[in-house]
């Protein structure tokens, strides 16, 4: 199954006999001191017809704390949100956001991790959609999806540290944060020792769409993937990292996500921190 879907392909599927459930996951990272982004306002101004808004901070994550800025949501909370949106195990799901792709990838990863068999991300997000937008709020029939966590691999801090030594751990954040030159959010800058810098924005073109699979495969091979390499990804809080896991999936490379990511790792002063361009 493809992990992404183009806007023309989505148009065809919506007109078909088995249309997907649409989830609008518009979200942006709010920097300290700035007014928080409100995805509901963006959704109310116009969304794909039939799409239901899902709140990343409240329904795709639990409260920030020792587990990072976006710890995994309680399965009951997540399941309730998905059923409210009309998600059922036997119906395909397409998720999209405002174009960056991070938030949609978080929803994609969570649905996969909890066992949904058919979920894709709209490549390029809302900007790729050429049809009319809607302002009506749909009221879909209650879905039947029951999350069962564990369908794909999840890393904790110890697992991420071990993978950085035994396999390939990719850091999806911007290079300057990896190197420790700047750190606008977390306690300290730098990276997990052994992790390789792989900014997720290098997986997409200027239009926000993913690079072709062959180009992604070549990029990840340059970063250290092989047919036998175990691969993991982390970021700041498990959102942009999910986007890198999605890019790896487009390239045909399975990868685990360290959901706590740097916000969890760096919150513990006993964990080692590496700085500079060298992984170690």
Q: For residue 231, list its beta bridge partners.
A: 168
Annotated catalytic residue, options 235, 239, 248, 249: 235
State how far the Cα of 58 lies from the Cα of 36, in Å rounded to an integer: 14
Is beta strand 93-96 parallel, antiparallel or unpaired with respect to 21-24?
Answer: parallel
Pairing of strands 256-258, 154-155: parallel
CB 274 within 8 A of CB 280: yes
Q: In 10 A of CB 233, how many CB atoms? A: 31
DSSP state letter for 248: H
Coil vs helix vs strand at 11: helix
Give how far the C-alpha of residue 23 lies from the chain's centroid of Cα atoms, to the nearest Å: 14
The number of residues in the chain equals 280
Sign of the Cα pseudo-torsion (138, 143, 149, 152, in order): negative
Strand partners, 4: 121
Residue 107: active-site member: no
Q: CA–CA distance from 80 to each of 58, 61, 87, 115, 147 (Å)?
A: 12, 13, 10, 15, 9
**Cβ proximity of 248 and 255 under 8 Å:** yes
Closest CA to 243 of 106, 69, 72, 96: 106
**DSSP assignment string, 86-109:** T--TTS-EEEE-SSS-HHHHHHHH
Just list the catalytic residues.
Answer: 235
């Amino acid at each position: 199954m493809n992990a992404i879907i183009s806007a023309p392909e989505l148009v065809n599927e919506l007109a078909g006999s088995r249309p997907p459930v649409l989830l609008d996951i518009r979200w942006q990272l709010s920097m300290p001191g700035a007014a928080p982004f409100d995805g509901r306002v963006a959704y109310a101004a116009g969304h794909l017809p039939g799409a239901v808004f899902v709140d990343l901070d409240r329904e795709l994550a639990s409260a920030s704390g020792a587990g990072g800025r976006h710890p995994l949501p309680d399965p009951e909370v997540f399941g309730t949100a998905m059923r409210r949106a009309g998600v059922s195990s036997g119906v395909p799901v397409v998720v999209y956001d405002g174009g960056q792709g991070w938030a949609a990838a978080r929803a994609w990863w969570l649905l996969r991790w909890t066992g949904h068999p058919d979920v894709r991300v709209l490549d390029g997000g809302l900007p790729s959609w050429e049809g009319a937008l809607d302002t009506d709020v749909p009221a879909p029939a209650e879905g039947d999806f029951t999350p069962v966590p564990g369908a794909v691999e999840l890393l904790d801090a110890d697992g991420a540290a071990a993978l950085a030594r035994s396999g390939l751990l990719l850091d999806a954040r911007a290079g300057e944060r990896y190197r420790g030159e700047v750190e606008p959010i977390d306690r300290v800058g730098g990276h997990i020792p052994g992790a390789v810098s792989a900014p997720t924005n290098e997986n997409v073109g200027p239009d926000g769409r993913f690079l072709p699979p062959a180009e992604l495969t070549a990029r990840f091979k340059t970063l250290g993937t092989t047919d036998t390499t175990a691969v993991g990804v982390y970021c700041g809080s498990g959102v942009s990292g999910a986007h890198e896991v999605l890019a790896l999936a487009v390239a045909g490379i399975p990868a685990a996500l360290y959901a706590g990511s740097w916000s969890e790792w760096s919150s513990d002063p006993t964990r080692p921190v590496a700085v500079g361009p060298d992984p170690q």
